[in-house]
């Protein structure tokens, strides 16, 4: 009876190990932007994933302690079962190697490799499925985990390691994203969208003076411009937006967009002598040697 109960504990411990490894990998694998995309699918589970990623240390302590406990318990059970089943053959080295293989292979393949492969195959689905269980286990074991968290923070501080792990999966850098686009490893992009992104990345190292028109060569309008003057400038340049200047080139009042006047013009509220004010706030000047990538929001 005792032997049967111990045999039943082995798959249970393997399940605990698989759960801990899969839950940890799901949290580490999923990026914050992917979590935001999961909100319409399952709002409560996505909120749980976001909460766990915001404070990941306690979840990592839980998964690590669970994995270690499961491995140690399975090792103890394997040793006890070997003594119970083969009491007179334990001195044989071949039997020891055989028992090691019999106990290691199922654990390595069934409780480690398989759950990790499932998470890597569908990380979003795995995170949504495992995060509520992780949160429940953290809530039940709140006291011990809180104490272990303090010990872990002290240990990290002793070795001068960072303990602010708010970003488990950091966002992609510009170089990584450019490489993904150039190698066609980004799914869901249309050809024109890919061309736009490639063009934007090609301008990263371009200087402002190579792209923008100098202020002295720009077509501008005075601050007291009328609608008649605006239309004359539109007819001469074929432009729809013009910088509005005050007393000098440095005194930029804003941009005047012809399209913003379409509504009042259609209602007959604008005449030839009607003054036109800028439709955007004042613009800031850019230094000509400045790299173009520094101007992006």
Q: Which of 75-89, 125-139, 217-231 has the highest mean pLDDT?
A: 125-139
pLDDT tens-digit profile of 135-186? 999 999 999 999 998 998 888 888 887 766 555 555 666 666 767 666 766 6
Which of 158, 192, 222 represents a domain boundary (last residue)? 158
In this structure, are 142 and 60 located in the same domain?
yes
First to last CA, the chain: 69
Q: Give the per-residue pLDDT at 296.
A: 56
Tokens linked to 134? 């992780």
In this structure, are 7 and 152 located in the same domain?
yes
Of 145 and 196, more confident: 145
Cα 63 from Cα 250, distance rounded (Å): 60
CATH code assigned at 262:
3.90.1280.20
**Count of domains forming the chain:** 2
pLDDT tens-digit profile of 24-65? 999 888 877 788 888 888 889 989 998 898 888 889 999 999
Is position 236 within any domain?
yes
Cα 81 from Cα 176, distance rounded (Å): 51
Is position 254 within any domain?
yes
Range of the domain at 148: 2-158
In this structure, are 142 and 230 located in the same domain?
no
Average pLDDT of the segment spanning 119-145: 92
In contact, 268 and 294? CB cutoff 8 Å = no
Is position 268 within any domain?
yes
Could you tell me the pLDDT band of residue 21, with boundaries at 50, 70 and 90?
very high
Q: Give the per-residue pLDDT at 117.
A: 93
Task: Report which DSSP code applies to 280.
Answer: S
Average pLDDT of the segment spanning 259-280: 80
In this structure, are 143 and 33 located in the same domain?
yes
Is position 42 within any domain?
yes
Which of 158, 186, 221 represents a domain boundary (last residue)? 158
Cα 258 from Cα 84, distance rounded (Å): 90
Average pLDDT of the segment spanning 227-241: 86
Give percent above pLDDT 90 in the chain: 21
Residue 242, classed as helix, strand or coil, is: strand
Is position 181 within any domain?
no
Is position 7 within any domain?
yes
Q: Which of 97-111, 140-154, 174-188, 206-220 has the highest mean pLDDT?
A: 140-154
Average pLDDT, the chain: 80
In this structure, are 268 and 147 located in the same domain?
no
Residues 59-74: b if buried by 16+ CB within 10 A, e if exposed: bbbbbeebbeebbebb
Q: Give the per-residue pLDDT at 136.
A: 94
Cα 189 from Cα 204, distance rounded (Å): 21
In this structure, are 13 and 127 located in the same domain?
yes
Is the pLDDT assigned to residue 93 strictly greater than 90? no
Could you tell me the pLDDT band of residue 196, with boundaries at 50, 70 and 90?
confident
In this structure, are 147 and 62 located in the same domain?
yes
Residue 84, classed as helix, strand or coil, is: helix
Is position 184 within any domain?
no
In this structure, are 117 and 234 located in the same domain?
no
């Amino acid at each position: 009876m005792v032997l049967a109960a111990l045999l039943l504990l082995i798959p249970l411990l393997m399940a605990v190990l698989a759960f801990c490894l899969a839950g940890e990998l799901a949290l580490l694998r999923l990026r914050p932007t992917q979590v935001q995309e999961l909100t319409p699918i399952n709002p409560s589970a996505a909120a749980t994933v976001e909460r766990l990623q915001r404070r990941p240390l306690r979840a990592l302590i839980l998964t690590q302690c669970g994995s270690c406990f499961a491995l140690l318990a399975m090792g103890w059970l394997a040793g006890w079962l070997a003594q119970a089943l083969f009491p007179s053959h334990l001195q044989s080295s071949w039997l020891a190697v055989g028992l090691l293989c019999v106990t290691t292979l199922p654990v390595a393949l069934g409780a480690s490799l398989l759950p990790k492969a499932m998470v890597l195959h569908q990380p979003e689905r795995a995170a949504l499925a495992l995060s509520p269980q992780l949160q429940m286990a953290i809530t039940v074991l709140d006291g011990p985990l809180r104490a272990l968290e303090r010990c872990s923070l002290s240990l990290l501080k002793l070795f001068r390691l960072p303990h602010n792990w708010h970003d488990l999966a950091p966002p992609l850098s510009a170089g990584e994203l450019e490489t993904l686009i150039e190698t066609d490893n980004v799914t869901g992009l249309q050809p024109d969208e890919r061309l736009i992104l490639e063009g934007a990345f090609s301008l990263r190292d371009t200087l402002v003076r190579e792209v923008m028109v100098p202020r002295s060569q720009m077509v501008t309008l005075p601050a007291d411009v009328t609608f008649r003057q605006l239309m004359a400038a539109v007819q001469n340049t074929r432009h729809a937006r013009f910088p509005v200047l005050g007393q000098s080139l440095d005194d930029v009042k804003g941009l005047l967009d012809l399209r913003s006047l379409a509504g009042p013009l259609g209602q007959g509220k604008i005449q030839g002598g009607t003054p036109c004010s800028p439709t955007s706030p004042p613009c800031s000047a850019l230094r000509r040697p400045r790299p173009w990538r520094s101007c992006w929001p």
